Amino acid sequence: MPQSYRLVRRDARAERTVVRLRNGATFGGEEIAICAGPCGVESSEQLDAAARAVAGAGANVLRGGAYKPRTSPYSFQGLGEEALKMLRYAGDRFDLAVVTEVMDTRDVELVARYADMLQIGARNMQNFPLLREVGASRVPVLLKRGLSATVQEWLLAAEYVLVGGNDNVVLCERGVRSFDVATRNLLDISVVPLLEEMTHLPVIVDPSHAVGIARLVPPIAVASVAAGAHGLLIEVHPDPPNALSDGAQSLDCAQFELLMRRLAPVVEFAGRRMPARTSSRSGDSAATPDSDVRSSVRGVRLA
Ligand code: PEP
Ligand code: MN
């Protein structure tokens, strides 16, 4: 272990970090976290349908991009603050915590106003000013592995956040570029047990961006949990063929529900628990009229 790791391995054996979000979702404890939702927030109807479905199936964190890092400047770029409002609203409505990507140092404060967790995308893993900014924010951070990042580079990126004073970092393996284009990326599942040895930080897996093919997502999600992942990040869209981004790798709502049922015995086998859902959560709130939605901490209401 290089001298340069000071914080990412602190108490690696003795005390592991458990990142806890506002709705009780945890990363790094006995209970795993299931983050699910569309690649990008496209409309309140789309997000509402996705949130309702993933909450009903037992997920506890809603994902959805408001600022999208697209390869082409002509592709859908995300709806910005409007999408953040929709995420907060849907999150509160279905008792889901919200994770969403922040791409720009100038947006950190704004995104943190709505989200419970800030995602640093693969393309920004070594955006050092951004890492320092989220380090100063104190909001939990989901740090994706860079497209071609070594484990050392990834952990040193986490070190940037920790050194700024933010201990709430979760690592997310999402595959790396390889010579082979048969799958979108090459999932490095070995980092799950490896990082368990190297750092006290929780590690989750994003099988959607790793494989890029929806029908391969369920078996890889199951394998990730069996390997010891503390959670999953899965793209779910109510109408994948018409998604504005990443439709090919998105599960539809029924496929996600089926996956959640397949996951349960494997999670138990791995010595962990599925997210706890109480009766006051998704099932009931899904049927609650908007006017009765429990009051949000931030009180976001759609116009
Ligand atoms: C995403 O989660 O939608 C995303 C863009 O992921 P990544 O940064 O891993 O490509
Ligand atoms: Mn995506």
pLDDT digits (tens, 9 = 90+) for 239-292: 999 999 999 999 999 999 999 999 999 999 999 999 997 544 444 444 343 433
Ligand 1 atom with the shortest distance to the CA of 174: 9
Per the CB < 8 A criterion, the answer to whether 260 and 59 are in contact is: yes
The CB of 145 under 6 Å from ligand 1? The reply is: no
Which residue of 99, 170, 206 sits with most ligand 1 atoms within 8 Å of its CB, as the best mutation to test the pocket? 206
State the Cα–Cα distance between residues 194 and 236, nearest whole angstrom.
28
**Minimal-distance CA residue to ligand 1 atom 10:** 122
The atom number, within ligand 1, closest to the CA of 124 reads 8
- The helix (run of H) or strand (run of E) holding residue 208 is helix 207-211
pLDDT at residue 12, as a whole number: 59
Distances (CA, A) of 18 to 9, 25, 32, 140, 190: 14, 10, 11, 11, 21
| Cα(176)–Cα(146) distance, integer angstroms | 7
pLDDT score of 142: 99
pLDDT of 288 reads 41
Q: Compute the mean pLDDT over every residue in the chain, rounded to the nearest whole number.
A: 92
Q: How far apart are CA 89 and CA 81, in angstroms?
A: 12
Place of tokens 């003795």: 14
State which of 188, 209, 244 you would mutate to test the pocket of ligand 1, scoring each by most atoms of that ligand within 8 A of its C-beta: 209
| Cβ 118 vs Cβ 142: under 8 Å | yes
Contacts of 143 (CB under 8 A, 6+ apart): 120, 125, 154, 157, 158, 161, 169, 170, 171, 172
> Does any ligand 1 atom lie closer than 6 A to the CB of residue 121?
yes
Ligand nearest to the CA of 66: 1
Q: From the CB of 65, is ligand 1 less than 6 Å away?
A: yes
Q: Is any ligand 1 atom within 6 A of the Cβ of residue 134?
A: no
Residue 88, ligand 1, Cβ within 6 A: no
212 Cα: distance to centroid of ligand 1 (angstroms):
11
Reading the chain (303 residues) residue by residue, the pLDDT tens digits are: 566 888 888 665 668 999 999 999 999 999 999 999 999 999 999 999 999 999 999 999 999 999 999 999 999 999 999 999 999 999 999 999 999 999 999 999 999 999 999 999 999 999 999 999 999 999 999 999 999 999 999 999 999 999 999 999 999 999 999 999 999 999 999 999 999 999 999 999 999 999 999 999 999 999 999 999 999 999 999 999 999 999 999 999 999 999 999 999 999 999 999 999 754 444 444 434 343 333 344 455 555
pLDDT of residue 292: 36
Specify the pLDDT at position 37.
99
Closest ligand to Cα 217: 2
- Return the beta strands (E) in the chain as ranges: 19-20, 26-27, 33-37, 61-63, 97-101, 117-120, 141-144, 169-173, 203-205, 231-235
Please tell me the predicted confidence (pLDDT) of residue 7: 87
111 Cα: distance to centroid of ligand 2 (angstroms): 18
pLDDT of residue 280: 47
pLDDT at 45 (0 to 100): 98
- Ligand index nearest the alpha carbon of residue 120: 1
- Nearest-CA residue for atom 4 of ligand 1: 121
Ligand 1: does its nearest atom lie under 6 Å from the Cβ of 244?
no
How many whole angstroms from 244 Cα to the centroid of ligand 2? 10
**For the residues of 45-106, what is the DSSP string, one character each?**
HHHHHHHHHHHHHT--EEE-BSS---SSTTS----THHHHHHHHHHHHHTT-EEEEE---GG
Nearest to 270 by CA among 215, 236, 232: 232
